[in-house]
């Protein structure tokens, strides 16, 4: 049996994992602040829309949708246009958190409520028929839920709903120290996902270097190496033929 692959379309990435992610599965993208998680997640959604004609849902818990639209326009991504075409839905899960009014089309209530997010996704599914989703980030939800055991259950509900809705999804997770072995913030995020991609932003002498590792990817014979990547004018480019060696 061959499993259907969903190419991320991120240059250099899909060849590290037999052509892409497995359809209807949920994956974790972990990394420290500034490591490129939001760019990776949105590039996956945008490539789905532009290259593969697959509508996408982006749930923003940390950055306001208007800022997201503005920041990503520099990469040439026309988010507002995709929204108008019903190819993209951005869920504003930030504004209400900080008590600000929001005139976004899709708003999530506060305090965080899994049921409401799930209902929102079902509504969006009826409207745009998405194939891909990104939740950026799980960490904000983890802080609002607080108890790790409950957080794990809530995340499992979200991930399972996404899978049942036919979505292939990325959940981002902000870790504090990439040098350690901790690949998730609350130690539970990686248990509800089928795979984990870790983004590193490490200092080497007086420069910072970006690299990426496919830590786990169930059902895939993936690269076990750490590959450098760059954020260029059109987004992330992974140097799949190069490796990063640690300095001992």
Would you tell me which residues interact with ligand ADP (CB under 6 A)? 31, 33-39, 74-75, 231
Minimum CB separation from ligand ADP for residue 208, in Å? 9
Sheet with 226-232, strands from edge to edge, namely: 106-107, 88-92, 56-60, 132-136, 168-174, 26-31, 195-204, 207-217, 226-232, 235-238
Instruction: Give whichever of 22 and 141 is closer to Mg ion, judged by the CB atom.
Output: 141
Alpha-carbon dihedral sign for residues 225, 138, 174, 88:
positive
- Quick count: other Cβ atoms within 10 Å of Cβ 56? 28
Work out what residue 65 binds among Mg ion, ligand ADP, none; the CB cut-off runs from 5 to 8 Å by kind: none
- CA geometry: angle 242, 246, 248, nearest 5 deg: 145
Sole residue written with tokens 């990104």: 134
Instruction: Give whichever of 76 and 129 is closer to ligand ADP, judged by the CB atom.
Output: 76
Work out what residue 118 binds among Mg ion, ligand ADP, none; the CB cut-off runs from 5 to 8 Å by kind: none
Determine which residue in the list 8, 30, 32, 38 makes contact with Mg ion, applying CB under 5 A.
Answer: 38
Work out what residue 39 binds among Mg ion, ligand ADP, none; the CB cut-off runs from 5 to 8 Å by kind: ligand ADP
Work out what residue 20 binds among Mg ion, ligand ADP, none; the CB cut-off runs from 5 to 8 Å by kind: none
Minimum CB separation from ligand ADP for residue 30, in Å? 9
Instruction: Give whichever of 155 and 198 is closer to ligand ADP, judged by the CB atom.
Output: 198
Minimum CB separation from ligand ADP for residue 28, in Å? 13
Which H or E run contains 116? helix 114-128
- Identify whether the C-beta of residue 168 lies closer than 8 Å to the C-beta of residue 131: yes
């Amino acid at each position: 049996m061959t499993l259907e692959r969903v190419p991320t379309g991120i240059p250099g990435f899909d060849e590290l994992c037999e052509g892409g992610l497995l359809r209807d599965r949920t994956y974790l993208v972990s990394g420290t602040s500034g490591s490129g998680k939001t760019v990776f997640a949105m590039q996956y959604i945008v490539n789905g829309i532009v290259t593969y004609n697959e509508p996408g849902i982006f749930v923003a818990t940390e950055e306001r949708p208007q800022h997201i639209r503005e920041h990503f326009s520099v990469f040439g991504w026309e988010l507002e246009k995709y929204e108008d075409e019903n190819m993209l839905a951005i869920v504003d899960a930030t504004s209400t958190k900080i008590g600000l009014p929001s005139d976004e089309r899709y708003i999530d209530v506060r305090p965080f409520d899994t049921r409401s997010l799930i209902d929102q996704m079902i509504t969006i599914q009826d409207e745009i028929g998405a194939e891909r989703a990104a939740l950026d980030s799980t960490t904000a939800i983890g802080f609002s839920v607080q108890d790790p055991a409950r957080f794990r259950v809530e995340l499992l509900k979200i991930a399972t709903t996404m899978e049942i809705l036919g979505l292939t999804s990325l959940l981002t997770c902000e870790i504090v120290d990439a040098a350690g072995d901790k690949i998730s913030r609350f130690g539970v995020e990686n248990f509800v996902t089928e795979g984990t991609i870790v983004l590193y932003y490490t200092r080497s002498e007086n420069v910072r270097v970006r690299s990426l590792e496919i830590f786990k990817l169930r059902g895939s014979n993936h690269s076990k190496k750490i590959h450098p990547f760059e954020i260029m004018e059109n987004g992330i480019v992974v140097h799949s033929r190069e490796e990063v060696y640690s300095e001992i």
